[in-house]
Each structure stands twice: as C-alpha cells, then as structure tokens.
Amino acid sequence: MNQTYTLEPTLDTADVVDAERLNETRDLALLQLGQYLQAEDYRFVTVTPLTHERVNQREENRTARSLRDIFGWSRSFENGLLPDERIQPLLASGVLRAHAGLWVSDVRWSSLDGLLFVHSSFPTVAHDSVFFGPDTYRFAQAIEEHLRTSTHPIRTAVDIGCGSGVGAILIARARRDAQVLAVDINPTALRFTAVNASLAGTDNVSAYHSDILASTTGEFDLIVANPPYMQDTQQRAYRHGGEHLGSELSVRIMAQAIERLTPGGSLVLYTGAPSVEGVDLFLQQARPLIDREDLAWSYREMDPDVFGEELDTETYRKAERIAAVVLTVTKRR
C-alpha cells in the first residue's frame, strides 16, 4: 500500500504505543529540533565523507563543543552541551542515544539557501541512510538555474528519489502555486522530507512512496532527480546506481521521466557519469533515448572529477574518472 507522509503537529510525544507511533514521535521531535536549531542560527555545510573523516580524526575534534559538532560533525557529547529540556524528548524518540558514556545524534542537519535539512548521521552505513553532501549542493544549483531560465509554467512537479527532499522543497518554495511530489522507495527518506518540508513552510510538497514514477499518475511540468550513481558492492539503496558503473538507475529514471513530461515540460537530471577509455557510459546509454524530434536536450559537466577514491577499487579499475553531470531534456510543444 502506498502512503503519503505528513506531519501532525498535535502528536503527544510522551505516548509511544507502536512502531508507527514511534516514527510519528521521532518525526515531531525532529521538527522541534529543527525549529530550535533555526532559532539558534545554526549553519552547517556538509562535506564529502573523506573530508568529514579527516576533520573528525583531529585530536581536538574527538568530542563535541557546539551544536555544529553534534548535529553537523556527528560527534559525541557530554551532558550540559544541550539543555535538559531538549535532550529528554530526543532520547525518548530515539534521535539521541548513549555511546561510550556520552550522547550521540542519529541525524545530521545541513543548511542550504537559508533552509535546514535533516538527514542521516555520519557515517552513512545503514541500508536506509539518507545522504546529503556536495552532490546535493550541485543538484540544488542545477534546479535553481533551471527555475531562473525556464519560462514554462510549473503547475505539477516531482522529485524522483527525493532523499531529504531538497529538490521538491526548492521547487515548491520558488513556485508556491505548484503541486510538488517527493517520491522515494525509502520510508526514512519520506519521513525526513516531510519534516524538512514542514520546517521550510512548503505545504505544497507531498512525500509519497513510489519506485521512480510507478505510483504516480499524469504528466509533469518539471521532473528532477539526483539518483545514486555508484556501483556499490553492498548495493545500499542510498548509494547503488546499478550496473554500467552505477549509471543504470539514472538511465531508467530518464527513460520513464521523458514519457511523463507535459509539452514544454523538462527533466533536470543530476547524476554521475563514469568514463572508460574516454567514453561517457551514461551519455552513451542516454543518447539513443533522447535523440528524438520531439525532445530538446542539453548536457554539461558540473565537475569533471568526483569520488576519485573509487578508482582504487576493483569495480572501477577500468574507469578513468567519474564526472558530475546535468542532463536537461525538454519536450517540445
């Protein structure tokens, strides 16, 4: 059964009776935490996992000394760093947990365009982790550029594989009259998106369970996606993009999305493009699907070299590089 994820502000956080109730309690606690962080003018830019690990390995960074340390750098902390009235509901809802005699948060908060987004704590190892990082900032830039330059009215939009909901929320904030869907197969992502949309005041966002567009109907004026694009040996949902060095899922999304565009509507797909002997594997698969008279498209590299450490692995031993790219496909009127 498909489920729409919303947040009910009247939930009694002291009364947890089952797993569904626990999730509701946790999500309300997250919303209240986000409001507290906003009031404290919290800001944090989330870096790559390697940079995060390097910074945290410094001796002076073993434990937290600030809100940014707790909720950005995922460092454990002692009593007194958070007010007791803040700690208790977070412990009761499972957002905070004990760790080696200290406390640690199971979520992080990142800032983007004056907004705050909750996502999974570092390191992101769980199968249902919700990732946020440099790719998210580049994805946001691609969306904002499209919103600035496109003259096509946006009445309906969808963010495929929404994660923390960044794409959907940016569209909804810029186009208040649009109905925006945020779809994902990960229930944790949908709950985080509902929290983030509520915190951003974008009540025109609906978080909905769907495998790509399978559970949606109709056509869309704008479709955006920032899918996983690595070929992950553990096949973790937040990271694994399938075969062809991780480009398989991006091609699937593109193929489905272009058939669901309104005349004049666009797909903005931010993904990774692995190159082998100078051949862009993603573009090689995409071109036969988009070289059509009824479609116009553009393609550009935002960053020519990302996740370079993956080239040391057996999976990527034939790859020369992985580029961060944006494919924009528009259905001609």
HEC sequence for 59-119: HHHCCCCCHHHHHCCCCCECCCCCCHHHHHHHHHHCCEEEECCEEEECEEEEEECCEEEEE
Distance of CA 170 to the CA centre of its chain: 12
Low-confidence ranges of the chain (pLDDT < 50): 1, 8-17
**pLDDT for res 16:** 32
pLDDT in tens, 169-210: 999 999 999 999 999 999 999 999 999 999 999 999 999 999
**pLDDT for res 278:** 96
pLDDT in tens, 286-308: 999 999 999 999 999 999 999 99
Say if CB 110 and CB 46 are below 8 A apart. Answer: yes
**pLDDT for res 18:** 55
| Identity of residue 101 | G
**Can you tell me the distance from the alpha carbon of 102 to that of 75, in angstroms, rounded to the nearest whole number?**
10
**Can you tell me the distance from the alpha carbon of 223 to that of 270, in angstroms, rounded to the nearest whole number?**
11
Domains, the chain, in order of start with CATH, read 4-120 (no CATH), 134-331 (3.40.50.150)
Element housing 206 (H / E): strand 205-209
Reported residue count of the chain is: 333
**Can you tell me the distance from the alpha carbon of 49 to that of 312, in angstroms, rounded to the nearest whole number?**
16
**pLDDT for res 7:** 55
**pLDDT for res 24:** 83
**pLDDT for res 13:** 35
Say if CB 136 and CB 118 are below 8 A apart. Answer: no
**Residue indicated by tokens 């590089």:** 321
